[in-house]
């Protein structure tokens, strides 16, 4: 009896078909079902989702993949369903498109899973690149007939940049410093110095430490080949406690476009009489206490006199630097392919801090340009400026990865202004005196592009290689500016944009 029951159960068990699973493979072209006419076709998907995941196989650069999951609609047409086709189109510098087809290993006999719940599948594949918009489309097979609108579903997915917790493991991000932990500590040493300590990286040997509260109040460069904890003192021109310290590395593969790190300037720990010393002096009786009190009093007196004296001196020197150095006005124009935040900001800070110049940028005068019109604005600024700098770069891909695309990305409309400035320059070509105003600055190695070849008559500098010569050229122009002609240069900060 028991045996009969058991075999019956086994029979029933065997009658239940196994659940469908998927088998996926690449199918770049149209599906073979496309060529055949179908009177009945399955409906569309109920849901389609995409999320990036880190693949367990460490394939270096393709380690971030898409997990594409979809839910089938629970209706009668599910019986006709044979496969689902998914195509992914990526759009960054170039377009890419690839498709996979996932065959269901069994026909669907029920609209939902035998265990309840909707039929859900997921496919892991399609490597995810940095800062790319992906359009993911899916449709069921057999698909609708030719010239008929088939049901399909599409979603968008925008991949993040190197700061993302998953993307930071991509090779390109690692090379830009995504895994570098400088562990910055900074403290206000005196009224006008800040001590910055950080751990260097094996990726490069040059760094810039910059202190800013609302504007940049000090910068300093560090060269350190060894992998070590390094210390640098930055001279500042304002209140530094609570200010931001930004560390810009210049690594071999990312140049000026590496990932920057930030920290906060604290108050330096006071080195004074510790409680232990105090206790000992109390225990030691009256005489030592009296003596030490006397000593402290003298020390305080001396320190006070010294502080007052130094304060006076600082007041004098800072007064003299602001009045003696005339500010030089420079107008900076750049083509739209230059990444604003990384290149133009860096360059502006360099001009303001290292060459003591007042910088005129289209970006900061949007309202004025709108009022005056670009031609009028440019002509006025060109006349007012001591130098007009064409900031160029040969590398159009430098904005990839770590650049902030939202604000000041490469697609900004600075192209028109750059062309206008270039045309103005061309009309000045005949006059030597006018030509002296123009300077070309390059951020990467290379020759001037053919379209701007007229600029080759101007003095050309490459940063940071020719930084000293470049500043000297500006200083030379500065000598012709009479002292006190101008009010103090206003310092703009890229942070406040």
Ligand X SMILES: *[C@@H]1O[C@H](CO)[C@@H](O)[C@H](O)[C@H]1NC(C)=O
Summarize as ranges the residues that interact with ligand X (CB under 6 A): 23-25, 32, 53, 67, 69, 83, 101, 103, 122, 124, 154-156, 183, 185-187, 195, 197, 213-214, 217, 231, 238-239, 242
The nearest distance, CB 352 to ligand X, in angstroms, is 14
The residue among 231 and 376 lying less far from ligand X, judged by its C-beta, is: 231
The nearest distance, CB 183 to ligand X, in angstroms, is 4
The nearest distance, CB 185 to ligand X, in angstroms, is 4
The residue among 291 and 495 lying less far from ligand X, judged by its C-beta, is: 495
The nearest distance, CB 243 to ligand X, in angstroms, is 6
Beta strand pairing call for 229-235 and 328-333: unpaired
| DSSP letter string, 261-328 | EEEEEEEPPP----HHHHHHHHHT-HHHHHHHHHHHHHHHHHHHHHHHHHHHHHHHHHHHHHHHSPPE
Q: What is the largest CA-CA distance in the chain?
A: 115
Gap between the Cα atoms of 303 and 295, Å rounded: 12
Buried b / exposed e over 456-487, threshold 16 CB at 10 Å, is eebebbbbbebbeebbebbeebbeeeeeeeee
| DSSP letter string, 400-459 | TTTS-SSSS-TTSTTHHHHHHHHHHHHHHTT-HHHHTTEEEEESSS-PPPGGGGGGGGS-
Cβ(77)–Cβ(145) below 8 Å: no
The residue among 202 and 242 lying less far from ligand X, judged by its C-beta, is: 242
The nearest distance, CB 214 to ligand X, in angstroms, is 5
Gap between the Cα atoms of 98 and 125, Å rounded: 11
The nearest distance, CB 121 to ligand X, in angstroms, is 9
The residue among 242 and 373 lying less far from ligand X, judged by its C-beta, is: 242
The nearest distance, CB 334 to ligand X, in angstroms, is 27
Gap between the Cα atoms of 445 and 334, Å rounded: 16
The residue among 154 and 497 lying less far from ligand X, judged by its C-beta, is: 154
Tokens 């990305």 label which residue? 409
Gap between the Cα atoms of 385 and 328, Å rounded: 8
Reported as half-sphere exposure (CB side, CA atoms, 13 A), residue 402 has a value of: 23
Gap between the Cα atoms of 234 and 411, Å rounded: 35
The nearest distance, CB 204 to ligand X, in angstroms, is 20
Structure tokens, 345: 């900001």
Q: How many helices (H) and strands (E) does the chain have?
A: 10, 20
Work out the number of other CB atoms within 10 angstroms of the CB of residue 407.
10
The nearest distance, CB 238 to ligand X, in angstroms, is 2
The residue among 291 and 497 lying less far from ligand X, judged by its C-beta, is: 497
Gap between the Cα atoms of 98 and 22, Å rounded: 18
The residue among 229 and 449 lying less far from ligand X, judged by its C-beta, is: 229
The residue among 185 and 460 lying less far from ligand X, judged by its C-beta, is: 185
The nearest distance, CB 95 to ligand X, in angstroms, is 14
Reported as half-sphere exposure (CB side, CA atoms, 13 A), residue 8 has a value of: 5
Q: How far is CA 274 from the centre of its chain?
A: 45
3-state helix vs strand vs coil in the chain, percent to 5? 35, 30, 40
Position of minimal CB gap to ligand X: 238
The residue among 482 and 496 lying less far from ligand X, judged by its C-beta, is: 496
- Using alpha carbons, select from 223, 27, 222, 248 the residue that is nearest to residue 125: 27
The nearest distance, CB 49 to ligand X, in angstroms, is 6
The residue among 136 and 330 lying less far from ligand X, judged by its C-beta, is: 136
The nearest distance, CB 42 to ligand X, in angstroms, is 15
The residue among 133 and 293 lying less far from ligand X, judged by its C-beta, is: 133
The residue among 82 and 434 lying less far from ligand X, judged by its C-beta, is: 82
């Amino acid at each position: 009896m028991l045996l009969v029951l058991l075999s019956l159960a086994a029979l029933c068990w065997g009658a239940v078909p196994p659940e469908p699973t998927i088998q996926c493979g690449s199918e770049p072209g149209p599906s073979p079902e496309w060529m055949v006419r179908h009177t009945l076709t399955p409906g569309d998907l109920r849901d389609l989702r995409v999320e990036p995941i880190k693949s367990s196989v460490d394939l270096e650069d393709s380690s971030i993949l898409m997990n594409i999951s979809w839910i089938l609609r629970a209706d009668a047409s599910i019986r006709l369903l044979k496969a689902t086709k998914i195509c992914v189109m990526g759009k960054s510098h170039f377009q890419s498109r690839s498709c996979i087809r996932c065959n269901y290993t069994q026909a669907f006999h029920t609209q939902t899973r035998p265990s309840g719940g909707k039929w859900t599948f997921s496919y892991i594949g399609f490597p995810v690149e940095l800062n790319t918009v992906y359009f993911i489309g899916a449709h069921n097979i057999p698909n609708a007939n030719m010239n008929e609108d088939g049901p399909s579903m599409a979603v968008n997915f925008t991949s993040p940049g190197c700061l993302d917790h998953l993307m930071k493991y991509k090779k390109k991000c690692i090379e830009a410093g995504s895994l570098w932990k400088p562990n910055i500590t900074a403290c206000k040493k005196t009224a006008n110095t800040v001590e910055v300590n950080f751990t260097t990286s094996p990726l490069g040997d040059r760094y810039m430490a910059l202190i800013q509260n609302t504007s940049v109040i000090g910068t300093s460069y560090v060269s350190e080949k060894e992998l070590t904890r390094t210390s640098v003192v930055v001279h500042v021109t304002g209140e530094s406690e609570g200010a931001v310290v930004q560390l810009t590395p210049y690594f071999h593969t990312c140049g000026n476009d590496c990932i920057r790190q930030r920290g906060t300037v604290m108050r330096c720990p006071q080195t004074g009489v510790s409680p232990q010393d105090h206790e000992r002096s109390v225990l030691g009786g009256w005489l030592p206490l009296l003596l030490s009190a006397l000593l402290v009093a003298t020390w305080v007196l001396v320190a006070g006199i010294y502080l007052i004296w130094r304060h006076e001196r600082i007041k004098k020197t800072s007064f003299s630097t602001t009045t003696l150095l005339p500010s030089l006005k420079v107008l900076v124009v750049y083509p739209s392919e230059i990444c604003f935040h990384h290149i133009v900001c860096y360059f502006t800070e360099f001009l303001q801090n290292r060459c003591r110049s007042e910088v005129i940028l289209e970006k900061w005068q949007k309202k004025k340009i709108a009022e005056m019109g670009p031609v009028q604005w440019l002509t006025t600024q060109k006349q007012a400026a001591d130098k007009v700098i064409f900031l160029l770069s040969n590398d159009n891909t430098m904005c990839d990865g770590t650049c902030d695309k939202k604000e000041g990305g490469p697609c900004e409309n600075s192209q028109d202004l750059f062309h206008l400035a270039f045309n103005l320059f061309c009309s000045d070509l005949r006059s030597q005196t006018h030509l002296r105003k123009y300077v070309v600055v390059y951020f990467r190695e290379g020759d001037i592009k053919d379209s701007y070849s007229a600029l080759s008559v101007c003095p050309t500098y490459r940063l940071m290689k020719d930084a000293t010569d470049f500043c000297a050229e500006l200083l030379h122009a500065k000598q012709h500016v009479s002292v006190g002609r101008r009010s103090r240069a206003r310092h703009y900060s890229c942070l406040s944009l």
